[in-house]
Structure 1
């Protein structure tokens, strides 16, 4: 109880400190919903500093966000939590521009301010907008930084079907992908003799998710095939179904080939892996398009948060792109996952051209997305 009160007090103090900033110092605000979200903002912030020398205010819901303790030059950082103080932060917001990765603005308790704020949505996944998000997830933003042509097309069709005003759609790209391209060595990894290949298991979450449906049966055939396995579950799986992860970790607690990775960013696990095993997760697109290595998709039921998504008449990117960047395996074939994965790793070099072509088609401005977004944000302040 006392810790809860102390936490609320810290959130209130953070909100109070933010509100005390002169309005001239809080023209451009980034809102981060969690510790692992900075990776999506980073390229934009860097471009704002390097190309425009423009400061920002960073507001986070994560008390353990490292930027609170050590904000870089050009940033002031504040903590508001994810409860009543965050709701109050949004409802009373009086700034020029707010950049955020959290969808569903205006749909639930997070509302647009009564003040004239320009809301910019920053996609934190490459996947399509109309199947794994709620129907009105993006309806109430003013600008959207689109990853690729699929986002532009889907958003315009949604606007037409729902009679919505046209938003400003920016051909942006994807900062996290840019970071992976810079940090990782694209193409198949070269392993020393005797060093096993590494498979990253990184599925989505939900009742139809790979771990929720199959749990240990996903990991076992990979380990039995002598492959090193890193399990990187979605944070929502840890929150909603922790017993699944605990059972897997207990089973493999003395297994040197198995490791659990719950780091919010997880780029290191991506870059070090030869192959990803996934379901409908956007992480698979980051892995393959960023590293030019294939993904093995287990064909569990689609993750659908918008039951009427087919009305748009466009198959989601995450369905269309699968055969361009990897192989699909039926759930009933999980026992063969180890041998299928080993074969795919062995043929990884054959996938590079197809994956590179897919990236060039589906992602805007690879390598320069931060500059594009920064220029748009600054234009909104002029």
Structure 2
């Protein structure tokens, strides 16, 4: 799918050009923040909307957004910069029928609801995680922000567990009831399609070594910051080709950690540092995946139907009140079913566990398929379902 080239110039000029559009040209607006690129998570939705001749605007605050390198007459792309003050002014005066984004905390920081137009705000997830453990998804402990999603009108849910969690949270904290839509996960659909259409995957590097991908979450206790150097050394010494893929927020917030690992291993031909999180090649071509609490574990398991090695670092629970919800987190409930959990004290055993798990891969395939199909909405059809809902909303506002 081709997308419009950015109207690069001054940031203010891009904003002005967007504001000059007629309302029917900016009925459907997507916004991508600078730290988490939106496009990979909404590509299936955009494709389906384009197939129906819908006019789309895509706003981005990242100069590295891959959508800026493509061209199409069907979608207009605007780089609006990353100044918090300028973004606040812009969004307060936004005119659009719907705004779709993966950035939570609407109304709490620089992204405010429009003061001049009844925009319908839609949240779409950038992982398959539960909503009530990781505060980037839902409840926070702040007295003023019991929910990071409470200002949204609609939430496009990945699976039934998210619907249950959000409804339980709304009831517990007496929050506004939102329009919860059973959508699915577009990135999962794309990955499954890519895998099924490709030839037999080669899991070996150019040096004929099995490729292992380390892709952790972010935060001070994440796998990379806890034992990153030690783990890479163990795997290299065991004869694997190792790729590190840091979380975008680790690159942004902890560049020294990434630099330290790079400088330690960059001269080793069996080591790669991959900072292009929108690239799918590494995920699909990895013999094994090692992670902690990152949602990439479910993507790898559900797409490749291969087990995941989870290193047990401190649980990432930005919402300290998650236990009040009374529901076990999806990511906790399935970890030992789609892979194996290794304590951080036993990472030296990971090479042995990799060989054991992947020698018994048939034991996992059927189990992973059943968990995926039972938990996730509309596999293979999420783009169509989500596009239907967006069109329904804008038609209601006509």
TM-score range, shorter chain: over 0.9
Aligned to 1:93: 94
Aligned to 2:113: 112
Superposition pairs of residues 114-133 of structure 1, within 5 angstroms:
114=115, 115-133=117-135
CA RMSD in angstroms, aligned pairs only: 2.1
- The 1:290/1:22 distance shift into structure 2, 3 A limit, reads same
| Of 367-376 and 187-196, the range deviating more from structure 2 | 187-196
Aligned to 1:79: 79
How far 1:240 moved relative to its partner?
1.9
**More helix per residue: 1 or 2?**
1
Aligned to 2:21: 21
Q: Deviations over 1:15-42 (max 9, x none)?
A: 1111111122111111111473211111
Task: Determine helix, strand or coil for the equivalent of 2:37.
Answer: helix
Aligned to 1:171: 182
How far 1:187 moved relative to its partner?
12
Match for residue 244 of structure 1 among 252, 257, 272: 257
- The 1:192/1:209 distance shift into structure 2, 3 A limit, reads closer
Instruction: Answer yes or no: is the 8 Å Cα contact 2:202–2:285 preserved in 1.
Output: no
Unaligned runs of 5+ in 1: 1-7
Match for residue 158 of structure 2 among 147, 150, 167: 147
Task: Determine helix, strand or coil for the equivalent of 2:151.
Answer: coil
Q: Deviations over 1:148-187 (max 9, x none)?
A: 0011001101111121221111110000001110112599
Superposition pairs of residues 160-199 of structure 1, within 5 angstroms:
160-185=171-196, 195-199=208-212
Which structure is higher in RCO with an 8 Å CA cutoff and minimum separation 6? Answer: 1
Aligned to 2:274: 261
Aligned to 1:30: 30
Instruction: Answer yes or no: is the 8 Å Cα contact 1:11–1:85 preserved in 2.
Output: no
How far 1:343 moved relative to its partner?
1.9
Q: Deviations over 1:248-267 (max 9, x none)?
A: 22221221221111103031
- The 1:67/1:191 distance shift into structure 2, 3 A limit, reads closer
How far 1:294 moved relative to its partner?
1.0
How far apart, CA to CA, are the structure 2 residues paired with 1:188 and 1:123? 30
Superposition pairs of residues 299-314 of structure 1, within 5 angstroms:
299-314=312-327
Match for residue 355 of structure 2 among 329, 342, 352: 342
How far apart, CA to CA, are the structure 2 residues paired with 1:208 and 1:55? 43
- The 1:221/1:187 distance shift into structure 2, 3 A limit, reads farther
Task: Determine helix, strand or coil for the equivalent of 1:215.
Answer: helix
Unaligned runs of 5+ in 2: 1-7, 141-146
How far 1:346 moved relative to its partner?
2.2
Task: Determine helix, strand or coil for the equivalent of 1:311.
Answer: helix
TM-score (norm 2): 0.89
Task: Determine helix, strand or coil for the equivalent of 1:297.
Answer: strand
How far apart, CA to CA, are the structure 1 residues paired with 2:91 and 2:173? 25
